Amino acid sequence: MTVQTATADNLEGLLKDNDILLLDFWAPWCGPCQSFGPIFEQAAEANPEVGFAKVNTEEEQAIAGHFQIRSIPTLMVFREQILLFNQAGALPRNALDELITKVKDLDMDEVRAEVEKAEAESKEQ
Catalytic status, residue 118 = no
Distance CA 109, CA 97 (A): 23
Query: For residue 72, how many C-alpha atoms fall within 13 Å in the half-sphere facing its CB?
Result: 24
Catalytic status, residue 82 = no
Instruction: Identify whether the C-beta of residue 24 lies closer than 8 Å to the C-beta of residue 40.
Output: yes
User: Within 10 Å of residue 13's Cβ, how many Cβ atoms?
Assistant: 10
Of the residues 6, 30, 39, 91, only one is catalytic, namely: 30
Of the residues 33, 55, 69, 100, only one is catalytic, namely: 33
- Look at residues 20, 19, 30, 101 and name the one whose alpha carbon lies nearest to residue 69: 30
Active site amino acids? 30, 33
